[in-house]
Amino acid sequence: MTPVRRVPVVRRAIVAALACATVAAACGGRGDDAPSPDAAGADDAAVATTTTGAGPVTLTLLAHDSFTPSEGLLEEFTRATGIGVEVARGGDAGELVAKAVLTAGAPEGDVLWGVDDTLLARVIDARVFAPYESPELAALDPAATALVPGRELTPVDTGDVCINYDVAWFADRGIPPPLTLRALTSPTYRDLLVVPSPLTSSPGFAFLVGTVAEFGDGWRDWWRDLRANGVQIVNGWTEAYYDEFSGSGGASGTGQRPIVVSYGSSPPAEVIFADPVPDEAPTAVAALTCVRQVEFVGVLRGTPHEAEARRLVDFLVGARFQADLPLAMFVYPVRLGVALPDAFVRHSLRPERPLAVDPRRIAAERTAWLEDFAQIVLR
């Protein structure tokens, strides 16, 4: 979910406000048998405090810029455990992983949220994380947990990177929207598509992976055809979606391209944050173009607070936190049985057969793919 999450930042004002938020540590004493917080948080009467010889423990949670849980949610963990949490946001998923690899064994934080499956093999090979098998694991999507048999990371959410299009733009002109990747190279859609660069963007790279899955060895020829058809490449998702895409409610008014690489959950964001709220989403998703992303959280190897970090991981995959994800970060919970909000279900699209490439192959060929992309599209 972006740099995975890889997930859409639907309102820049919200992100800016939340980016400064931290959760203060609570004070007090704790016994070794203090309970872990469950999905709904703990009763105040059962609160236990974790301390060290230097005082209460405050964990540093490293996360990408799109980590925006509802205000006060992490404080529930603090009230239940006495463990403070300070969120340190550091760019996109790619930037987070690059720093984490460089500091493996001597981390800048205790827990990291935001590794997606395109980066999975890299962090496992670099031994960035301390293996941990959460007691919550049985409640999570088995397809996601199977991606990490060594338990170095725990899945937290899933999402889909897909072609989105401006419904009104196509309806007004009587042009059918593109429903497949192949269609995007048709002259009908010349100069209509904007894509965040795979070199600098998590959803951009996920989209590139999707083209490898769809076209096999022919993916390079497809990108050559797309370039000839006038695709616009920009640095990141925010620029593509808010500045260049004509269908975004947050656009500056100058967006001229009615097709964009975004998320399967972008349409509900356009509804929920609109004023007035429309009956139908102004944007739609081409289901056959989607590639699934799984996002993970893990305990950083070398943290001096490994026991406390494990408890935070358990909280992040618990029912209470997972239920917050759809409308706070516009991703799908990885926990089974979590009810989705009606507006999210009605306006989002979940593809039945998303495009996918094995994470090990991605790790092995990532550099070559990016070099080929740059040579074909950006030269």
Q: Does the domain spanning 12-159+293-333 belong to CATH 3.30.70.20?
A: no
Domain boundaries, the chain: 12-159+293-333, 160-292+352-378
| 12-159+293-333 shares its CATH topology with 160-292+352-378 | yes
What DSSP line would sit under 323-356, residue for residue?
HHHHHHHS-EESBTTPPPPHHHHHH----SS-B-
- Report cis status (omega within 30 of 0) of the bond before 276: yes
Joined together, the tokens standing for residue 256 give 């001229």
Angle at 334 between CA 324 and CA 181, to 5 degrees: 105
DSSP-derived 3-state class of residue 210: helix
What's the pTM?
0.81
Q: Does CATH place domain 160-292+352-378 in 3.40.190.10?
A: yes
pLDDT by residue, tens only, the chain of 379 residues: 433 333 333 333 333 332 333 333 333 333 333 334 443 333 332 333 455 556 689 999 999 988 999 999 999 999 999 999 999 998 778 888 889 999 999 999 999 999 999 999 999 999 999 999 999 999 999 999 999 999 999 999 999 999 999 999 999 999 999 999 999 999 999 999 999 999 988 899 999 999 999 999 999 999 999 999 999 999 988 899 999 999 987 555 579 999 999 999 999 999 998 889 999 999 999 999 999 999 999 999 999 999 999 999 999 999 999 999 999 999 999 999 999 999 899 998 899 899 999 988 999 999 999 999 999 999 8
Look at residue 52 in the predicted model and tell me its pLDDT. 56
What's the token pair of residue 304? 């001096």
